[in-house]
């Protein structure tokens, strides 16, 4: 397993685990970032501070600490 920050642009994966603590975990789940959902890395900022992903058709912008807490396979 790897985190979103280790993915390449246009790479797709399935969310296997979310290591974030509350309330971040609840916020991610509310945005559709949940175990078992497919995601695709769309882009990230030049300094890699935010990542834009598509989760089951919804575009979500994640901060670095959030992206690091989402493990995919």
pTM of the model as a whole? 0.93
- Spacing of C-alpha 45 from chain mean position: 14
Question: For 4-42, what is each residue's pLDDT tens digit?
Answer: 999 999 999 999 999 999 999 999 999 999 999 999 999
Q: Which of 33, 34, 35, 36 is nearest to 59 (CA)?
A: 33
Q: How many helices (H) and strands (E) does the chain have?
A: 2, 6
* Four-point Cα dihedral 25, 26, 32, 35, nearest 10: 50
């Amino acid at each position: 397993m790897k985190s979103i920050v280790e993915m390449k642009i246009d790479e797709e994966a399935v969310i296997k685990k979310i290591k974030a603590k509350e309330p971040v975990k609840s916020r991610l789940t509310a945005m559709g970032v949940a175990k078992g959902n497919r995601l695709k890395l769309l882009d990230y900022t030049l300094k890699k501070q935010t990542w834009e992903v598509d989760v089951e058709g919804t575009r979500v912008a994640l901060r670095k600490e959030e992206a690091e807490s989402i493990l995919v396979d």
